Structure formats: structure tokens, C-alpha cells
Structure 1
Amino acid sequence: MTRYAAAGAGKRPGVLILHGARGVELRRRAYERYADALASAGTDAYLVRYYSPADDRALATITTREQRVAYQTERFDRWFERVSSAATAILAQPESSGRVGLLGFSLGGYVAAGTAARDNRFAALAVLYGGMPDNAASRVRRLPPLLELHGDADQNVPLARGEALVKLARAVGAPADQVIYPGRAHGFDFSDDDPMAADATDRVVRFFRTRLQAARE
């Protein structure tokens, strides 16, 4: 993990940030934009590398979408465990307020949703252009409050996957909101020039402030 600490003393919540299918480095600048914004708002952010070295090697050899989806499906449970282990380490820190959230992008959104469904320590879940893994959806009995952001021109993860996640969250009694960005494609918020990228960052920060900080203020 890479930690982006909020300034000041005292206990504070944390948010685990989960990268997309291409790992951390390719989109690090965008992930750090969210991490820095969360830290500036008083929440510690942690960029989590849930891929193992073996995952990196295996994914580097995959050449088709079908192979990639099959590999990810087989690995989801292990990735859920890795993220929960990261949360355990964060919650054990003396500065932790005891409240943690998950922020996932694309594949990381699927990992975040599946982890939050299994681990009730997570108090908030934000997913950008993601969904719930198919092999986990039927087992979901709870989810924390959810914010899902999605472009309606997304060709990688169709908007319907985000809509299905929101519907599932509401079905198990979780507050769930979705913001749809007209004409925006997959990863629209990675752009430094698109004003909707700033909008998405602001919405995510406000969501976690409300769900993780407001309860203790």
C-alpha cells in the first residue's frame, strides 16, 4: 500500500483505493488525484496493490478478453481477501478512527463491491464504472452505502453493470446513488482536461466525508 495521510493529529477514517485492470502505474496520476483530495478533506487514503507478482506475470501473457475475464473470475475471492487484510492493517493503526471505505475503479470497482459485500467493517463504497462480480452477486446479503459513477458511452463496462449494482444494493437495504455522465466513456475521469473528472473527484470526496467523517463529528 501507499499511504496519503491527512494533515493534523487525531483519529481519522481511511479509504482504500483499488486500481483497474492495468494496475497502479499506468493511471497513477488519476488515482493520486483522488488520494490527495481525500487527504486534503481529512481522510487518510491508501492506494492498494491487490495484484500479486503472480497476477502480474499471468496477466501479461493474456491476449484475449475471454482469457482475462476467466482469470479475473478465478481470482476474485483471493483479491477480496487481500483487500480485507489491508483493512485489518489500517484499522490497527493508532490514528484510525475505526471507519474505513472502499473506492474502486473498473476491475477495482468489482473487487471493492465484492469485498464490501463480505466484510461488514467497510462503512462506505464508491465504485467508478464497475459492478458486482457475477459469481458473487447471488451471495450478497448486505452492502454499505454506495455511490456509483458511470459514463453512458462506456464500451468496456456497460452502464447496465453499474445500474445492476445500484439495484442490488437497494435490494439488500443499502442507500445507493448513481451519477450518469452523458457521452462519457470508460475512464473519463482520468483526463486532466475534462471538467467531469473534477466533478467525479468532488462527488467521491463529499460522499466519503458524509459517510465516514460526519458520523463522528
Structure 2
Amino acid sequence: MPAISRRSLLGGLALLAATPSLAAATSETLSVDADEGRVTLNRFAAARPGKRPAVLVLHGSRGFDLRPRAYQRYADALTADGIDTYFVRYYTPADEQAFAAMQTSARREVYEAGRFDVWAARVSSALSAVLAGADSSGRVGLLGFSLGGYVAAAAAARDARVSALAVLYGGMPDKIAPQVKHLPPLIELHGDADRNVPLASGEDLVKLGKSVGAAAEIVRYKGKAHGFDFADNDPMTADAVSRVAGFFQARLSEA
């Protein structure tokens, strides 16, 4: 397993400067050793004292900084429920350079298919660091959006320490699906008018979860497109945030 820095108050994480590009609630930016270089995390600590569960949030293909307010809604809801929240920047610098150079979605899809193993491993390194923290309850969930949903599903299938999985308009990578023997309890939220990731991909993930014995459900949003929950004034945004927070509150508080 990659070495984890012990230079910070969090025991398993290296402390860096605060990140002003995210909302003011961001308490600190952290760094974890991983394959192909360090992983940067933005940590949002819940106010509840004592040991707490955590959720690692995995961004879509364009990262957190394009729509920080949308991701922040989930962090606010989770921390209000006493769940520490970490934004995991799982891309490497090489990934960012490769994406910047690509002109077509087809090329991106080919590139992504070859990176799921590395990205899942990098998420597991972040998970190790969070679990090593003095305030960790030992229960951690993954929350992934679009591409991040695929990465979260791949990581959850390969890392039994993941206690719960929530995926928004994502699925399981095709090359990993036949190998899956385990998944934690999961929920999929998906618009039925999604043209980026078909609803069938989310349905297949839920079927896969059930086939390996996991409690799995899908919530379909009629007429909603990809990224529907990023809209500031759509009532379904609040519904999605509430469902995700409620799912993690129930699953991560279990003994």
C-alpha cells in the first residue's frame, strides 16, 4: 500500500493551505500519498464531537471547480447530519493534461476506460487515510457523480471497507462489471432523459448490486437530464440532496 504521510493533526493526511475556490465552509485542504502521485482532498468537518463517519465525494469529468456550489450542497447536508465530507481530486496532473488535449468525447471515453483501475486505487488510498484519522468511526461511504460515479462503483467493488455507495447518473465500468463479487448497500439517482449516461447504465448497476447480495435501489427522475441536481432552482435538486444525505445517515450509522 502506498505510504501515507503522518505530518498533520489528522494522523494520516498532510495538511496544505486552504482552498479559496471552494465555499467558505472548507476548513482545510489535505494531501495523501497514492499511486501516480499524491491525491488532494478538501475536508469539511462536521461539528459533532467524537468519532464520526465520513463520505468521500468523487467529481464528474470536469472536476469540482466548475460548479463548486452544486457539490457544496451535498457537503453542507452531510456535515449537518454529523458526517465528515471529503472532496477527492482523483485526477493526476497527467490526466488533466490528457483531457485538456482531447477534442472528442469518443477519445475521452477510451482514455477513461484505461484509467478506472488507477483512479479506484487512488480513492482507496484516500479511504485508508480517512479511516486512520483519530475522529473516524470506521465507516466510510462513497458519493460519485457521472464519471466519478463510475470510479466510486469500481472502488466500492474492490474495497470492502466501503460501507455505502451513492451514484448519481453513473454506473459500473464495463470491464470491471464481470469481475464484481461484492458491493455495499447502494443507491442510484438518475434522470430518465439523460443523454450522456443512459438510464440503463444506472439500472444495470443496481441489478449488479442485487445479484451479489447488496441492498440496492434506483430513484428515477422523470424528464430530467444529466446533472439535473446541479440546477439551483429545481425542486428535484433538493430532493436528490435530501435522499443522498438520508441514505448515508442511515447506512453509516449502522453498528
**Shorter-chain TM band:** over 0.9
**Which amino acid in 1 is paired with 2:94?**
A
1:130 corresponds, among 125, 148, 170, to 170
Q: Match for residue 93 of structure 2?
A: 53
Who is 2:112 aligned against? 72
SS of equivalent to 2:121: helix
Amino acid across the alignment from 2:122: R
2-structure distance, mates of 1:28, 1:84: 23
Output aligned runs, 1:132-151, within 5 Å. Answer: 132-151=172-191
Aligned to 2:19: none
Paired with 2:111 and 2:218, the residues of 1 have a C-alpha distance of: 28
Residue of structure 2 in register with 1:173 after alignment: 213
Question: Equivalent residue for 1:15?
Answer: 55
How far 1:133 moved relative to its partner? 0.2
Give SS of 1:183's match: coil
Q: Secondary structure at the match of 2:137?
A: strand
- Runs of 4+ in structure 1 deviating by more than 2 angstroms, as ranges, are none
TM-score normalised over the length of structure 2:
0.84
Q: Which has the higher contact order (CA 8 A, sep 6+)?
A: 1
Take 1:8 and 1:100, find their aligned partners in 2: how far apart are those partners? 16
Q: For residues 22 and 118 of structure 1, what CA distance do their matches in structure 2 show?
A: 25
Q: What are the ranges of 5 or more consecutive residues in structure 2 without an aligned counterpart?
A: 1-40
Identity %: 64
Task: Give the counterpart letter for 2:247 in structure 1.
Answer: F
Tell me which amino acid in the other structure corresponds to 1:169. G
* 1:61-97 deviation digits (Å, cap 9, x = unpaired): 1111110001001111000010000000000000000
Q: Name the SS of the counterpart of 2:134 in structure 1.
A: coil
CA radius of gyration, larger in: 2
> 2-side partners of 1:163 and 1:5: how far apart?
33
2:18 aligned partner? none
Partners in 2 of 1:8 and 1:147 — Cα distance?
Answer: 25
CA distance in 2, matches of 1:32, 1:18: 12
Q: Which residue of 1 aligns with 2:7?
A: none
Identify which of 64, 74, 77 aligns with 1:37: 77
**Correspondence list, 1:189-208, <5 A:** 189-208=229-248
The one-letter code matched in structure 1 to 2:203 is: E
Q: Distance in 2 between matches of 1:117 and 1:137?
A: 9
Partner Cα distance (1:90, 1:29) in 2: 24
The amino acid that maps onto 1:26 is L
**TM-score normalised per structure 1:** 0.98
Return the match for 1:92 from 113, 132, 142.
Answer: 132
Task: Give, in whole Å, the separation in 1 of the partners of 2:132 and 2:187.
Answer: 26
Deviation string for 1:142-180 (max 9, x for gaps)?
Answer: 000000000000000000000000000000000001000
Partner SS state of residue 134, structure 1: coil
Question: Which residue in 1 is equivalent to 2:204?
Answer: 164
Q: What corresponds to 2:44 in structure 1?
A: 4
Aligned partner of 1:187 in structure 2 is 227
Unaligned runs of 5+ in 1: none
Question: What residue identity is the alignment partner of 2:175?
Answer: N
Q: Give, in whole Å, the separation in 1 of the partners of 2:57 and 2:248.
A: 12
Q: Does residue 114 of the first structure (1) align with residue 159 of the second (2)?
A: no
Instruction: Give the Cα–Cα distance (whole angstroms) in 2 for the partners of residues 94 and 145 of structure 1.
Output: 25
3-state DSSP of counterpart to 1:133:
coil
How far does residue 8 in structure 1 lie from its aligned partner after superposition?
A: 2.6
TM-align CA RMSD: 0.6
The CA distance in 2 between the partners of 1:70 and 1:150, in whole Å, is 23
1:24 correspondence with 2:61: no
